Amino acid sequence: MMKYQRDILKGVHGYTPGEQLNVPDIIKLNTNENPYPPSPKVAEALASITSDNFRKYPDPLSVKLRQLSAERYGYPSAEWVMAGNGMDELLAMTLRTFVNPGEHVVSVNPTYSLYTILVQLHGAEYSEFDLGEDGALPEALYTSDAALCFVPRPNAPTGLCASRESMERLCESFKGIVYIDEAYVDFSDDSCMDFPKRYDNVIVGRTFSKSFGLAGMRIGVAVANPAIMSEFLKTKDSYNLNWASQAAGVAAMEDYAYMEAQANKIKATRARLTESLRTLGFSVRDSQSNFVLARWNGSPNAKAIFERLRDEAILVRYFDLEGLDDALRISIGTDEETDALLSALAYLAE
């Protein structure tokens, strides 16, 4: 296995290879998946795919999914939307399309760890600037002359949102492309989905892996000015979304209210988990995502807490990185999973 593939499995998602197989009885709170299944309409749509569909290539342009996304997000046509094999493909496509090897890409710190891996694979230069305590954008970002800036909003792994005003300032001052990664936005109070109407250099990315509960189907969309889209069309793989992913994405979009109801359920569990973790002595900021970042400065340390949970078959995310090594990132699970997690942590209060 190539080194970068290993890094992607281990560094980005916290897996060791093989662990991603479905092992029963594990409580999996380490990769920010949705604890609930997707809309039942998705299974119905998948069941209606015939073997004749398997024989034929899928729609190379994922037109229906793009049309529905445009309508939902307030854009005039599918020409404002690109579909991807997960948001990860859209991030790679953005680099391929808008950054030459050797050029500079910037982001914030901490951030989604795939950015640096993709930039390295592309042969470009990468710098990260520290976020403020409250998730505020670093001043250095506004004055950077990089070709591309990735900003996750809400941020991963902090779960905090930079203000919309600061995002506007960034989009106005930054000369290159600003990619606003809204992977977790359905769990937050507001979004920047209107920005591509106002700024020609902005791409807003969404994924179906989190709020829609479709991580296994690999679906993402990016919204931007049609001029950006026509550049994407030059570099995209011909058939990047298969029949099943397109059918699943369309069915999920058509049942948008189902996704919103699940997101609300997750937000309610998030509030309960946040309070309970604070009572145990963790320091937890109010998250805008489907995970919380819980900092701990007692004994045993965060790594030991992570290892003990793992021994009890509860997986959370621990980052052995400066600035994060006192923290656990915990995905919001079902209420039962949250109860099991809290019981497993109860020893900390003794």
Ligand X SMILES: Cc1ncc(COP(=O)(O)O)c(C=O)c1O
Q: Which stretch binds ligand X (CB under 6 A): 85-93, 132-140, 167-175, 252-260?
A: 85-93
Nearer to ligand X, 88 or 337 (CB): 88
Determine the Cα angle at 184 with ends 180 and 186, to 5°.
105
| Position 209 contacts ligand X (CB under 6 A) | yes
Nearer to ligand X, 181 or 186 (CB): 181
Q: Which stretch binds ligand X (CB under 6 A): 69-77, 81-89, 96-104, 223-231?
A: 81-89
**Rg (the chain; Cα; Å):** 20
In the list 220, 244, 249, 333, the residue contacting ligand X (rule: CB under 6 A) is: 220
Q: Could you say which residues in the range 28-67 bind ligand X, by CB under 6 A?
A: 32
Nearer to ligand X, 217 or 314 (CB): 217
| Position 181 contacts ligand X (CB under 6 A) | yes
Q: Which stretch binds ligand X (CB under 6 A): 84-92, 123-131, 159-167, 232-240?
A: 84-92
> Residue count at the site for ligand X (CB under 6 A)?
13
Give the CA diameter of the chain: 62
Interior/surface letters 10-23, b for 16+ CB within 10 angstroms, e for the rest: ebbebbeeeeeeee
CB of 7 closer than 8 Å to CB of 117:
yes
In the list 69, 207, 225, 274, the residue contacting ligand X (rule: CB under 6 A) is: 207
Strand partners, 283: 295
**How many whole angstroms separate alpha carbon 154 and alpha carbon 58?**
33
Helices (H), the chain: 3-7, 40-47, 51-55, 63-73, 87-98, 114-122, 139-143, 164-173, 195-198, 226-235, 243-254, 256-280, 302-311, 335-345
In the list 86, 135, 213, 333, the residue contacting ligand X (rule: CB under 6 A) is: 86
CA 97 to chain centre: 21
Smallest distance, ligand X to C-beta of residue 181, A: 5
Q: Identify the DSSP state of 159.
A: -
Smallest distance, ligand X to C-beta of residue 214, A: 9
Q: Could you say which residues in the range 290-309 bind ligand X, by CB under 6 A?
A: none
Q: Which stretch binds ligand X (CB under 6 A): 71-79, 132-140, 207-215, 332-340?
A: 207-215
| Position 87 contacts ligand X (CB under 6 A) | yes
**How many whole angstroms separate alpha carbon 313 and alpha carbon 157?**
22
In the list 66, 82, 88, 341, the residue contacting ligand X (rule: CB under 6 A) is: 88
Cβ contacts of residue 234 below 8 Å, gap of 6+? 97
CB of 328 closer than 8 Å to CB of 201:
no
Nearer to ligand X, 14 or 58 (CB): 14
Strand partners, 180: 151, 204
Binding site for ligand X (CB under 6 A): 32, 86-88, 112, 152, 156, 181, 183, 207, 209, 215, 220
